[in-house]
Chain A
Amino acid sequence: MDVKITDLSLTYGDFTAVEHLSLHIEDGESLVLLGQSGCGKTSTMRCVAGLEDPSGGSISIGGTTVFDAAAGTNVAPNRRNVGLVFQSYAVWPHMTVLENVSFPLRMKRRPKKEIRTRAQETLELVGLGHLADKGASKLSGGQMQRVALARSLAMEPNVMLLDEPLSNLDARLRDDLRVELRRLQLELGLTSIYVTHDQSEALALADRIAIMQHGRISQLATPVETYRNPASASIAEFLGVANIFRTCAPRAGEHRLRLADHALEIAVGTAVPAGDDLSVCVRPEHVRLATQPGAGAPNSWPGTVEVSVFQGSYARCTVALDAGPSLEVHTQDATFVPRQHDRVHVEIDPAHVQVLPQEVGPVVGDGVRDDAAPAEPGVDDDHGRRVVAHAATMSGEG
């Protein structure tokens, strides 16, 4: 069922965890709340679950209002039929696996026989059919995670909430379970809200990603869109864009920008938007290394490799440009592994240079930005999100 959050606020004393947040999650959609710890993503999710008392706004699930501050509505969490997989799993150690999974069905007072078959079926679904009678405290982390998932699935929830469910697992298991979670979510058509601080998890699991900063949503878009066009430099930094440099205030319409802290000019693919606080952002994998200076290339600078680490499919190195700044580089070609102190030339295609404001205001509704941004030559994309610099989308990837 769809979830509609309207103007939600949550405060603890003086601290505002969630601030005027609005969000609509479609039926069957997987929405990921992505952000750093303390950004309010878990609080938002717990409001939907009914475990927090918001100070304002309303929440409805499948058209039924479960919370409305103005009307004084607050449906108890056990009456919302919302599944929640906790970060700590919260699998009850004093019960067996089957008892854990049967619990929601017992609460719904289903017949005994049905409880047993349904619980067993759900366990099969997550691949734990053989462990039904095992004590829950004897399970491994990955197994507990599956029990927690099965327990919530067994209740056939209107919405499934997942609070960093994979963060306590080791990297390999996390990758496997990520794929499995996505398969289950699509297969069962679950409406789900998934909270994480891991960008690759978000990209893998989401239909849409809502990036949260300071209790607000600062970008709401599909994973592909989010990855290609972060709305601000701080979002870009969070998404792994390692090379971010502040620029001097440019003149609108120019195609070159001067860095604020270094004597370096960088050519960009599109006309530069107006604004004071702009940064240029370049993903490490978009920086090329060459042994010779590129003839006539617009962004080509000499530099020295400071450190180089071989990562298997690529090499990761830091190059100190003669002109000052250091660049983070991921080489695409695993056969070329630079060594420390090597002299190299660094090239950046202007189409890969994004020019972004440092911060952006919150989006409200479905992707509409709230702040009154100055008029600028940026283009509004189809989601109503103002695209500040179009460089990446025009680079032939889209």
Chain B
Amino acid sequence: MALLDDRRRARGAGAAPARTPGPARSARGRRRRWLPTGLVLLVLTVLILIPAAMVLLAAFSVDVPRPGNITWDLTAANFGIFADPQTLRAFLNSMVVGVVATALACLIGAALAFLAARTDIPAAPFVFLVGLMPMFLPSYVGALAWSMLAGPNAGLLNIAQSDLGTSLPLDMYSVPGMIFVFALYYSPYTFLMVHGAMSLMSPDLEEAARVHGASSRRMLGLVSFPLATPALIGSAMLTFVLIFENFPVAQVLGTPGGVDTLPTLIFRLLNTSPSRGNESAAIAVVLVGVVLLATWLQQRMLAKRSFTTVTGKGVRQKKVALGRARIPLFLGVLVFFFLSIVLPVLALVVVSGQSSPYMSSLSELAEPGGLDFSSFADVLGSSSFREATWHSLVVGVCAAGAGVVLAFLCSYVVYRTKASGRSLVEGVSMVPLALPAVVLGMGLLWTWLVMPVPLYGTLAVLVVAFLAVQAPQGFRGVSSSILATDRDLEDSAVMLGASRGRAVTSVTVPLMKVGLLSTFLLLLMLSMRELTVPLFLYTSDTEILSIAIYDAFENGGALQEAAAMSVIYTAFMFVLSYIPRRLAR
């Protein structure tokens, strides 16, 4: 100690360093800080922003973008389409379907979530599965199945009614029909979010209510449910947006009955001859406007509340006793399960085996030769089905793989660097959320027709399209995983002599393995079920599975084949959705 003191004394005390004036930020430094963001922004711009800009341009110009000919003659005349009564009717239909179906879906989802998470309902794990399962069935397969069940003429349920002598006319090709199907298949979003909020809620908060004198019922009303409302509001807005912009269900159920929604109208205008692309772009802009408004409303409502009450500890709370309502409620759950999964899958199986398309009584099915499942062999044996499956797999795997890489790069830039413009990267990654699939599909079509790269008409253009569509899901999946990985772990590898790249590959990526893999599987599943965007971009050489089913169904004659493919497809989707859940454990 004395030695140290001596040294210090010897050095003297007057060596105050000269001060340099404030930091001189060099142009080189600025370039260095923009480099990583600049690169990913460039990719995101090509993928997402240019297609969006194409739609915007088309909405305000006299002609749609064509190769070598992008017109800049601007006009607002395209919006005159809103004076057309059919547009107004479509808008009204969209709104009614969106609002009513959202309300129903939220009611179903929240009720199931409460029953599964917080009550002594019999077979609670089964109730959880029932709440979740409709998610695994692509909503347009559900719509297909329900059109087979309750189509006004040859619907199986209507045939069964004539057998039974009841006459409750069931017509799926109508606004109530669409509302019914949307409510069934969009309830899992609310279910998942509310279930999460209810089961992760700290029991201390509820116990505090009990200690301070609340009865079990009042505790639920004053503490538990209010704490779950942010999740409910969030999921309601999400559900509304998803239903409002949904194209396939409306196309399957609405179009045959002459009921238009905005997405189907956009699609129809684009495909009439001559094509009315500019007007459909104008409708698309309004569609995006509504979506943005809903998202903004959601943000505003949630900004006032705090999610911090949810601890994430996953502690078991006390279950609410249902008493005499226990069995009736469970029966209600069974009815939902029956309507959302059992009946539709049964209908697909029956239709795939139905040898005669014309049937007046269900008893015909029991007759010899009435059910013939050779259609499965036909489908599996057909080269077009195998090709479509192969295309789906190739496109899905490439899009999911590239999507994870892109999402990792974006998340890394946003959360692990101090590069300038990071929030811009996050913002642009999220843009596709506000772009309905019909709009994005339209924009991607024009973009890749115009681009001087021969991508249109290849599988690659589908990969590129899926990359754009799924950028938000990829970014969310990977960034939540990167946030859960302590950055000290990577920094310590650097301190111990590894280069930054080496630290990422030997520490960060291995630690994020589960997160990256489950994001990959999520993207793969989304690619497999996406119908709308490829509908704009596929050619007869690049048909994928979802398109093949849609085609077979729309062509009417191939109903049996469509049903058989749907069954195989659904089985495949169940397997694909099951793997990530296993992984998460």
Given the interface pairs A70-B20, A84-B492, A93-B511, the reply to whether A365 lies near B13 with Cβ below 8 Å is yes
Closest residue of chain B to A56 (Cβ to Cβ) is B23
The answer to whether B11 and A366 touch across the interface, beta carbons within 8 angstroms, is yes
> Is A172 in the interface zone, CB < 8 Å from B?
no
The answer to whether B491 and A51 touch across the interface, beta carbons within 8 angstroms, is yes
Q: How many Å lie between the Cα of A83 and that of B502 in the bound state?
A: 18
The answer to whether B13 and A366 touch across the interface, beta carbons within 8 angstroms, is yes
The answer to whether A77 and B507 touch across the interface, beta carbons within 8 angstroms, is no
The answer to whether A365 and B15 touch across the interface, beta carbons within 8 angstroms, is yes
Q: Can you list 8 pairs linking A and B with CB atoms under 8 Å apart?
A: A7-B19, A56-B22, A77-B495, A78-B497, A92-B489, A103-B498, A148-B492, A365-B17
The answer to whether A384 and B13 touch across the interface, beta carbons within 8 angstroms, is yes
The answer to whether B17 and A366 touch across the interface, beta carbons within 8 angstroms, is no
The answer to whether B486 and A90 touch across the interface, beta carbons within 8 angstroms, is yes
Binds A, one of B2-10, B117-125, B135-143: B2-10
> Is B1 in the interface zone, CB < 8 Å from A?
yes
The answer to whether B495 and A368 touch across the interface, beta carbons within 8 angstroms, is no
The answer to whether A364 and B16 touch across the interface, beta carbons within 8 angstroms, is yes
Spell out A's residues near B (CB within 8 Å): 6-7, 9, 11, 20, 22, 24, 26, 29, 49, 51, 53, 55-57, 69-70, 72, 76-78, 81-84, 86-90, 92-94, 103-104, 107-108, 148, 151-152, 155, 207-208, 222, 364-368, 370, 382-384
Q: Which residues of A contact B493 (CB under 8 A)?
A: 92, 103
> Is B418 in the interface zone, CB < 8 Å from A?
yes
Known contacts A76-B500, A86-B491; can you find 17 more A-B pairs with CB under 8 A?
A7-B17, A9-B23, A26-B4, A55-B23, A78-B494, A88-B486, A90-B488, A90-B489, A94-B510, A103-B493, A107-B498, A151-B496, A155-B497, A222-B5, A365-B14, A366-B13, A382-B9
Q: How many Å lie between the Cα of A72 and that of B29 in the bound state?
A: 9
CB distance from A41 to the nearest CB of B (A): 17
> Is B272 in the interface zone, CB < 8 Å from A?
no
Which of B24, B499, B507 makes the CB contact (< 8 A) with A92?
B507
Q: How many Å lie between the Cα of A87 and that of B511 in the bound state?
A: 19
Given the interface pairs A77-B495, A78-B499, A92-B507, the reply to whether A56 lies near B20 with Cβ below 8 Å is yes
> Is B167 in the interface zone, CB < 8 Å from A?
no
Q: Which residues of B contact A89 (CB under 8 A)?
A: 488
Q: How many Å lie between the Cα of A170 and that of B16 in the bound state?
A: 41
Q: Which residues of B contact A11 (CB under 8 A)?
A: 23
Q: How many Å lie between the Cα of A92 and that of B497 in the bound state?
A: 15
Given the interface pairs A56-B22, A83-B495, the reply to whether A26 lies near B7 with Cβ below 8 Å is yes
Interface residues as binary, B470-499 with A (CB distance below 8 Å gives 1, 0 otherwise): 000000000000000010110111111111
Instruction: Please report the number of residue pairs spanning A and B whose Cβ atoms sit closer than 8 angstroms.
Output: 119
Q: Which residues of A contact B28 (CB under 8 A)?
A: 72
Q: How many Å lie between the Cα of A56 and that of B29 in the bound state?
A: 13
> Is B26 in the interface zone, CB < 8 Å from A?
yes
Which of A51, A55, A78, A81 makes the CB contact (< 8 A) with B498?
A78
Most chain A CB neighbours (cut-off 10 Å) among B22, B488, B507: B488
The answer to whether A69 and B496 touch across the interface, beta carbons within 8 angstroms, is no
Closest residue of chain B to A12 (Cβ to Cβ) is B418
Q: How many Å lie between the Cα of A152 and that of B20 in the bound state?
A: 34
6 cross-chain pairs, A with B, having the tightest CB-CB distances, nearest first: A107-B497, A384-B13, A55-B23, A90-B488, A104-B496, A90-B492
Q: How large is the interface on B (under 10, 10 to 19, 20 to 34, 35 or more residues)?
A: 35 or more
The answer to whether B494 and A366 touch across the interface, beta carbons within 8 angstroms, is no
The answer to whether A108 and B488 touch across the interface, beta carbons within 8 angstroms, is no
The answer to whether B17 and A78 touch across the interface, beta carbons within 8 angstroms, is no
Given the interface pairs A69-B20, A88-B486, A207-B1, the reply to whether A152 lies near B495 with Cβ below 8 Å is yes
Q: Which residues of A contact B507 (CB under 8 A)?
A: 92
Chain A residues touching B, majority SS:
loop
Q: How many Å lie between the Cα of A219 and that of B528 in the bound state?
A: 65
Q: Which residues of B contact A104 (CB under 8 A)?
A: 496-497
The answer to whether A383 and B496 touch across the interface, beta carbons within 8 angstroms, is no
Q: How many Å lie between the Cα of A86 and that of B510 in the bound state?
A: 20
Which of A9, A81, A368 makes the CB contact (< 8 A) with B14?
A368
Given the interface pairs A84-B492, A93-B511, the reply to whether A76 lies near B17 with Cβ below 8 Å is no
Q: How many Å lie between the Cα of A107 and that of B494 in the bound state?
A: 10
CB distance from A85 to the nearest CB of B (A): 9
The answer to whether B19 and A20 touch across the interface, beta carbons within 8 angstroms, is yes
The answer to whether B16 and A78 touch across the interface, beta carbons within 8 angstroms, is no
The answer to whether A364 and B17 touch across the interface, beta carbons within 8 angstroms, is yes
Q: Which residues of A contact B13 (CB under 8 A)?
A: 365-368, 383-384
Q: Which residues of A contact B492 (CB under 8 A)?
A: 84, 86, 90, 148, 151
Q: How many Å lie between the Cα of A51 and that of B492 in the bound state?
A: 10
The answer to whether B497 and A222 touch across the interface, beta carbons within 8 angstroms, is no
Closest residue of chain A to B506 (Cβ to Cβ) is A103
The answer to whether A82 and B1 touch across the interface, beta carbons within 8 angstroms, is no
The answer to whether B495 and A78 touch across the interface, beta carbons within 8 angstroms, is yes
Q: Which residues of B contact A151 (CB under 8 A)?
A: 492, 496
Interface residues as binary, B47-91 with A (CB distance below 8 Å gives 1, 0 otherwise): 000000000000000000000000000000000000000000000
Q: Which residues of B contact A6 (CB under 8 A)?
A: 17
Q: Which residues of B contact A77 (CB under 8 A)?
A: 491, 494-495
Q: Which residues of B contact A93 (CB under 8 A)?
A: 511
Given the interface pairs A368-B14, A382-B9, the reply to whether A82 lies near B495 with Cβ below 8 Å is yes
The answer to whether B496 and A107 touch across the interface, beta carbons within 8 angstroms, is yes
Q: How many Å lie between the Cα of A103 and that of B496 in the bound state?
A: 7
The answer to whether A152 and B496 touch across the interface, beta carbons within 8 angstroms, is yes
Q: Which residues of B contact A108 (CB under 8 A)?
A: 497
Q: How many Å lie between the Cα of A207 and that of B5 in the bound state?
A: 10
CB distance from A208 to the nearest CB of B (A): 8
Q: Which residues of A contact B502 (CB under 8 A)?
A: 107
Q: Which residues of A contact B495 (CB under 8 A)?
A: 49, 51, 77-78, 82-84, 152
The answer to whether A366 and B19 touch across the interface, beta carbons within 8 angstroms, is no
The answer to whether A76 and B499 touch across the interface, beta carbons within 8 angstroms, is yes
Q: Which residues of A contact B9 (CB under 8 A)?
A: 382-383
Q: How many Å lie between the Cα of A94 and that of B508 in the bound state?
A: 10
Q: Which residues of A contact B5 (CB under 8 A)?
A: 222, 382
Q: How many Å lie between the Cα of A364 and that of B492 in the bound state?
A: 31
The answer to whether B17 and A92 touch across the interface, beta carbons within 8 angstroms, is no
Q: Which residues of B contact A84 (CB under 8 A)?
A: 491-492, 495
Closest residue of chain A to B513 (Cβ to Cβ) is A94
CB distance from B8 to the nearest CB of A (A): 6
Q: Which residues of A contact B418 (CB under 8 A)?
A: 53
Q: How many Å lie between the Cα of A108 and that of B497 in the bound state?
A: 7
Q: Which residues of B contact A207 (CB under 8 A)?
A: 1, 4
Q: How many Å lie between the Cα of A383 and that of B503 in the bound state?
A: 44
Q: How many Å lie between the Cα of A141 and that of B375 in the bound state?
A: 62
Most chain A CB neighbours (cut-off 10 Å) among B11, B20, B24: B20
CB distance from B331 to the nearest CB of A (A): 46
Interface residues as binary, B93-134 with A (CB distance below 8 Å gives 1, 0 otherwise): 000000000000000000000000000000000000000000
Q: Which residues of A contact B23 (CB under 8 A)?
A: 9, 11, 55-56, 69
Q: Which residues of A contact B499 (CB under 8 A)?
A: 76, 78
Q: Which residues of A contact B18 (CB under 8 A)?
A: 7
CB distance from A69 to the nearest CB of B (A): 6
Closest residue of chain A to B503 (Cβ to Cβ) is A78
Closest residue of chain B to A382 (Cβ to Cβ) is B9
The answer to whether B494 and A86 touch across the interface, beta carbons within 8 angstroms, is no
CB distance from B28 to the nearest CB of A (A): 8
CB distance from B206 to the nearest CB of A (A): 30
Q: How many Å lie between the Cα of A155 and that of B497 in the bound state?
A: 8
Q: How many Å lie between the Cα of A171 and that of B507 in the bound state?
A: 31
Closest residue of chain B to A163 (Cβ to Cβ) is B488
Q: How many Å lie between the Cα of A205 and that of B144 in the bound state?
A: 73
Q: Which residues of B contact A222 (CB under 8 A)?
A: 1, 4-5
Q: Which residues of A contact B15 (CB under 8 A)?
A: 365-366
